[in-house]
Structure formats: C-alpha cells, structure tokens
Structure 1
Amino acid sequence: MRGARAPRLPRRPLHGVLLLDKPIGWTSNDALQKAKGLLRAEKGGHTGTLDPLATGLLPLCFGAATKFSQASLDADKRYTATLHLGRTTTTGDLEGEVVEERPLDCDRAAIAAVLARFTGEIDQLPPMHSALKHQGRALYEYARQGVEVEREPRRVTIHALELLEWNAPTLVLDVVCSKGTYVRTLAEDIGRALGCGAHLSALRRTASGALTLAGAVTITELEAMTPEAREALLHPVDCLVADWPALQLGEADAGRFLSGQRRRTEHADAPAVRVYGPDPRAFLGSAHVTCGELIADRLLSPPEVASQLGIPATFSATPADAGIEA
C-alpha cells in the first residue's frame, strides 16, 4: 500500500524580485513556475522572455513587484553573444538546419570595422522564428509550416558592441542594446556584412537595466536551500526602478498619495519617479511629475507597503499601520 502524499503547503503573499540565472533548455515560464513553487508564492511573473537556448539573467517578480515588471521589460539589456562565422542556419541559431557554409576571410580589423557599422541606431527585420504576432499567431508557427510572412523593419539601438574573443570560427561579443533587439538577427547581419554568414551559437544575458548577474541564483542552488534562505534572496520591489529619481513624502501626503490623490511638489517635471513614505523602506509606488503636481501611476496596497516594514503580509494594514497617516 502506497504511503499517503505529504500535504501541499499553501501559497503565500511574497513581494520582491528574484534574480535567476536561467539554465539552457528551459523556457522563461518553466523557470518562473519552478521558482514560484519553491518559494510558495501566490503571484509571480517574469520580465521578458529568454529563449530556451539562452542562459543568464531572468528577473522574476513576485507579489507587488509584478506591478513594476514593465520597467524591466523596457530597460536596456546586455548579452554575451557567441557567433559561429561561416555557417548559416534556417533559424539563425543552433536549432536550425545548416543552409550554407562558406570559407572565412576576415581578421580582427575587418571584424572591428563591421561592428562599428552596427553600433548606434539600426533597423532590424524581425526573424520568422520569433514570438512576434501576426494576425494573432506567433511568427514561428508560420515558419514551421514553411510560410514566409511580410514583416516591417524595426528601429533598435545598439549602445555598445565589443569584441571579447576571436578564435575562428568563434566570435564572442559583448552587446548592450535597447529592448526589442533580436541578437540572433544581429549575428546573422554581422555575418552577412563580413561576407561569410553566421549564426548565433550561444547567448547569455548578463544585465537588464540596473540589474545584473551578480547575486543571481541557479535553479539547482535554489532547490538546495531552506525556505528561509530562498526568501532571503528576494530583492526589494523598488530594485526594478532603482535608476529613477526618488521622492519622499511626509505622513499626511504619503497617505493621500496612496489613495490616488495628486500632491503638490517642488520636484522638477519627470516622466517617472519612485515615491517613498516617511520611512525610507516604505516604497509606495511610481508616479510622474507635471507642472508641480505629483501624479500616481502604479501604487502598492497598504498591506504591500506594510510588508516592507516587517509587518506580516497576512496582516490587513491601513496606511497608518504602515507608518503612514491617511
């Protein structure tokens, strides 16, 4: 007779950001669901998809942090990209079939000259093997059926493109780019410009905005930890907007801000600011400043604010309970 299954532990409200070093072969959602289960978190989301063949930084948002995931989605990204020169594939990466192989006739000087051409604002044609939607379906679904869909070029910015290693046929690059950049397409375009073709053989994300791999944890490491150690890894909610200007409110204004009321401020006009209560640990939400008015955009609930101050998340806090006078 089989033993009874251990009871499943209940989910709980957790608020913060886990910096995960995603393993190769996992989808971003696979990684999210695994981490969410290990943390027993009620609510979670990721901040931008990493292809299964890519590894590296995947910030995972839990609880109140999900309200600010768009900031990470919009942030610049940094990658270590490994290109295989002289070989093109159907998908532009290792998953595809080899289309053509050509001899290499380039040196570091030629590579540096081509990289300079791809630094700054460039136009990219989204690849067919991508999740971009056309008439409600992902482009890769059409590609698997052998259907080519007409796509419009997209303007992206390559802020920096540095040659890290050249050991023919392998070229390793440090890429700092705007959101929406297809590094796979960049690899193919560089290969085409060099006259030999190329495909992306490995990709590792090293940064997303101000967040980096420093302190990131692997799934294997997370599995081996105690529940307390896992929870201790969570970064505060406001780490997603750490590069925005900060504004601190007194008790009365903080309570009114949390209720959605506009407040007068001497802060200069700004499209995005992070707002705190009288206790600097109490992140209240995001806002913008226009003509001397502080206007709320995304707000934390009083219980979410209270959780930052060490009050149990299950406690039904009011603004006053969180050190904020309503």
Structure 2
Amino acid sequence: MNDVPPVEQAPVPVPPAMRRADTPRPPRGAPRPDRPKKRDVSGWVILDKGVGMTSTHAVAVVKRAFNAKKAGHAGTLDPLASGILPIALGEATKTVPFVMDGRKAYRFTVAWGVETDTDDAEGRPVATSEARPAREAVEAALPAFVGAIEQVPPRYSAIKIQGERAYDLARDGEVVELAARPVQIDRLAVAEHHGDHTVIEAECGKGTYVRALARDLGRMLGCYGHVSALRRTRVGPFSEAEACDVAALEAGGPDGNGAHLRPVETALDAIASVAVSRDMALRLMRGQPVILRGRDAPVEGKIFATCGGILVAVGDVERGELVPHRVFHLGGTSAGRMA
C-alpha cells in the first residue's frame, strides 16, 4: 500500500483582469459582513460555568454573546470545576481586583483512599489507603484548617517559580517544591458523608486552594484524599442566585442579554460611596484629586464616587481629599457630555 499522501494542488490565483467586473470590492479596512462591529459594553456577567470549560474559553463565549470589545474574568476556575465565574466587560475590567480580593465559597467532594499528583481526579495516584474516615472524624479534623493557616499549593498550580508556571514544570517532569503560603479559611462544614467520599462546604479568602485542603485533610486522617468534584457558589458579591449559563446567553443574543448584565459598581459593594458634583466629577476623570466637603464626607479610606448615579472613579481619601486611582467612562459622565 502506498503510504505517501497525495499532493494537494495550491489554488491558481486569478489575475485582476480576469475577475468579474460586477463583483463589488469592499472598501479597504471595512469590517466583513459576517463580523458585526464590536460594541462598547460595560458591566458584569455572572456566568455559571460548566464542567470541562476553561476560564479563557468562558470569557470568549461571553464576549461573543455580547459582541463586546473587551472582557476578562475575576479568578480562574479549573476546567473540572463548575460554578460562579464573574466576567467583566468593558469598564468593569477596572474593578476586577476588588472581586478577586473578595471572599469565595465552594462545595466540593473529597474522594478518600487515593492521593493524586494533581490533588484532583485528573491526576495520577501517588498514595493509596484502604482506610475510610467516619463522619465524626472528618468533622473533628476540620477546625485545624479554619482561620489563618499556612497552606502548600498543589504542584499543578498557576504559581510562578522563577518565571515559569508550576504546572508547566510539573508536566515536564521536574520536581516542584512550593513553599507554604498564608491563607484565610473562614468556614468548613460537612454537608454529606457517604463512606468513601465526603461533601464539604467552604468559605475562604484569596489564594486558597481547595485541592490542597482535600490533600492535607486526607493526610491528617491517615487515609489520603483528592477532590473529585468542585463547585464555586460565591465570589465576592456575586452568587448563584444571579448567575446565568452559556445556553441562556447564546439564546439571548447581543441585543437580548441586557438582563444578564450587572452594573460596573456591583463589584464595589464592599467599599463606601460618595456623590460628587459635575465639576468634581470632571476633575476626577482627569485624574485630579478633589476635596470632599460636608459633615458626612469620609476623611480616610477607599471609596468610589458617582455623579448623577453614574460611576466616576475609585480612589483613596486622605485627610478629606479623594485621590482617584481608577476613572471610568460610562457615557453619562464623559467629559464631553458633562461640559
């Protein structure tokens, strides 16, 4: 049998003189008919991401659903995990750090008896045990992981080691040694227990790895364990109650998805706000500080300023002066319209 593949002939270019005269030529730089012009869309979409989808793909799906110019997510969610993935569009991308610094809530399943090199179900087993913990033993162990603790991240994580991601080094066969990092875990509770696996609910701060928590819990109980299912139920101010899935976005289309868009300032509900005049708003939008007057004006701390109910800036108040660090252009408070 001949294993040599057939040679594909390259298409012969048609000389300009042979083109049909009635074929219209689109003007140079004009968008293609099948690519509608991107829109200036600003706000938050609280996506309920399904298992198997990467966070990067989720951002692309939401961006396409709104035909938006700019998008980004607030906190990666592993492909094996489902749940809340807040996605920022347009000016909302400037508030991503506030969401990422917020508290998070998870519901996850620990499968007992096997520890894997990834600390989840995708990994290769590295330790096994026939022992299985009782519910009472799991509940008794949880308090050791509540509060401010030191946690060693999984070897397969996005943490950088000398400029390279830990998961890239681990996949290349290198021995990855990660130092323990301080994390805050506010709550752990057993939701279900079924002998060979336990469902646990967690509330924690930024940088906490649920996979590492399952690994360390299994080691403490002497039976090993890994995460077999994981769902994120809250990120900062965003919860499952206001989330939408990919199917809903695809059904709505760019003009029908407005109901799934949350205001930009929704991400800022953990900090105070202050209303400013139009003149003050214009100064803030130029990056200039303003003096906050009035008996109730804050004198210190981080706040966001609005004008006519529209977000203008986020900054710090220092001795009664608001210094802007992020300014927003949301239409109604643009310099041209306010002048």
**TM above 0.5:** yes
Matches of 1:224 and 1:128, distance apart in 2: 39
Contact 2:65 2:253 in 1 (8 A): no
Which residue is 1:310 aligned to?
none
In structure 2, what residue type is equivalent to 1:272? K
1:162-220 deviations in whole A, cap 9, x for unaligned? 11111111111111111011110011001111111100011111111111111211112
CA 1:186/1:257 → structure 2, altered by over 3 Å: closer, same or farther? Answer: same
Partners in 1 of 2:210 and 2:231 — Cα distance? 11
Correspondences of 1:1-12 after superposition (within 5 Å) = 7-12=34-39
| From 133, 137, 146, the counterpart of 1:110 | 137
Conserved in 2, the CA contact under 8 Å of 1:269 and 1:288? no
Q: Identify the match of residue 244 of structure 2 among 206, 217, 235.
A: 217
Segment of structure 1 superposing worse, 60-69 or 100-109: 100-109
- Partner residue in 1 for 2:301: 271
Q: Choose the corresponding residue for 1:170, options 188, 191, 197.
A: 197
Determine which of 101, 104, 122 is the counterpart of 1:77: 104
Percent identical across equivalent pairs? 36
| 1:39 CA drift (Å) | 1.1
Structure 2 partner of 1:203: 230
Q: Give the corresponding residue for 2:315.
A: 287
Aligned Cα root-mean-square deviation (Å): 1.7
| Counterpart-to-counterpart distance in 2, 1:63 and 1:125 | 35
Contact 1:283 1:305 in 2 (8 A): no
Q: Which of the residues 255, 260, 269 maps onto 1:233?
A: 260
Instruction: Kindly provide the amino acid, as one letter, of the partner of residue 142 in structure 1.
Output: L
Q: Which runs of 5+ in 2 are unaligned?
A: 1-31
In structure 2, the partner of 1:298 is: 326
Q: In 2, distance between residues paired with 1:86 and 1:261?
A: 60
Counterpart for residue 188 of structure 2: 161
User: How many pairs were matched up?
Assistant: 305
| Aligned-residue offset at 1:68 | 0.9
* Post-superposition offset of 1:111: 1.2
Given residue 230 of structure 2, which amino acid in structure 1 is its aligned partner?
Answer: L
Query: After the TM superposition, which residues 47-66 of structure 1 pair with which residues of structure 2 at under 5 Å, given as runs?
Result: 47-66=74-93
1:52-111 deviation digits (Å, cap 9, x = unpaired): 111110111011001111111111211111111122112110101223331234322221
Which residue identity does 2:175 align to in structure 1?
E
Q: Distance in 2 between matches of 1:228 and 1:9?
A: 12
Match of 1:261 in 2: 288
Give secondary structure in 1 for the equivalent of 2:199.
strand
Q: Please list every run of 5 or more consecutive structure 1 residues that lacks an aligned counterpart in the other structure.
A: 308-316
The residue identity in structure 1 corresponding to 2:44 is: V
**2:123 aligns to what SS in structure 1?**
coil
1: CA distance between counterparts of 2:120 and 2:300?
Answer: 41
TM-score, structure 1 normalization = 0.89
| Structure 1, 202-211 or 266-275: larger mean CA deviation | 266-275
* Cα distance in 2, alignment partners of residues 203 and 71 from structure 1: 23
